[in-house]
Amino acid sequence: MGQRVFVKVVGFDDVERHALNTLFRVSGDSGNGFALWTPETRGEPGLALIDSESYEARVEFESPLNDKLRMVWVGPHAPARAWRSFQRPLRWPEVIAAMDELFRPVEPLDFDLDVAEPASGVRRALIASPDRAERLYLRARLALAGITQADEAETGPQAMELVRNNRYQVAFIDFGLPGLGGWDLVRQVTAAQPRIPVVVVTKDTVSTREHMKAHGSGVALMLAKPPHPTKIKALLEKV
């Protein structure tokens, strides 16, 4: 069951706003219902869409009053604080899908993990991502779960070298790793010996078909980026 989310829209031309309002009207059919936020709206906005070409929008983005408001940046030179960014020409359905992922209720994980702790008692993780901010975020989530030993890789070949030379209880793999990525990397990681009990794949957007393919490939979870902290927490509690 979705929820109603008000969105503050700052900038954009008439054509883009018309397309966005049309998608807002039908958004509740398959997930959350999004609606345009105005100062007269009862309730606070849950998200803001910022047009980088609009001076008013950039001022809104930089305002300290909006520090806690998730921002979607449209255009080049996205600041680090932006939750997601998209380039023109816009594909509004992709923007709506990303917004829906953010506010989608977290479903209980429906798999059991039988993870044997290594003889040393030390749990070790692999974090493979070209994005330093994502690696730091995942390292922090792992530390909160008591997993403080983590190796990092920025490319597919680096990740596979670490997999061959170490024993991991959990691995976070970015689908878009350079050098060796995508399903080829997923297959090699899940087939490696000794087997990694829990493999999590992150990707910019994930379709239902990709979820099914990942599950059939031995992946515990395939998550859209940024990965939902509650899902990661629930997963790591089982490791």
How far is C-alpha 8 from the geometric centre of its chain's CA atoms?
Answer: 21
Strand (E) positions, 93-207?
A: 124-128, 149-153, 170-174, 198-203
Are residues 94 and 128 located together in one domain of the fold?
no
Are residues 129 and 227 located together in one domain of the fold?
yes
Q: Domain of 93: which CATH number?
A: 3.40.50.2300
- pLDDT for residue 174: 94
Domain coverage including residue 82 = 4-103
Are residues 90 and 136 located together in one domain of the fold?
no
- pLDDT for residue 133: 84
Asked if residue 140 belongs to a domain, the reply is yes
Are residues 132 and 223 located together in one domain of the fold?
yes
Consecutive 10-residue averages of pLDDT for the chain (239 residues):
78 86 65 80 87 85 78 85 83 76 58 47 84 85 82 94 92 93 91 91 88 86 81 73
- pLDDT for residue 26: 66
Asked if residue 109 belongs to a domain, the reply is no
Are residues 96 and 159 located together in one domain of the fold?
no
CA distance 234 to 239: 9
How far is C-alpha 163 from the geometric centre of its chain's CA atoms?
Answer: 23
Asked if residue 19 belongs to a domain, the reply is yes
Are residues 36 and 94 located together in one domain of the fold?
yes
Q: Provide the sign of the torsion angle of the four alpha carbons 46, 21, 40, 72, taken in this order.
A: positive
Please state the three-class secondary structure of 23-44 as a single string. Answer: HHHHHHHCCCEEEECCCCCCCC
Look at the chain and report how many structural domains it folds into.
Answer: 2
Cβ atoms of residues 61 and 51 within 8 Å: no
Asked if residue 8 belongs to a domain, the reply is yes
CA distance 60 to 39: 14
Phi, psi of 228 (to 5 degrees): -65, 125
CA distance 116 to 90: 47
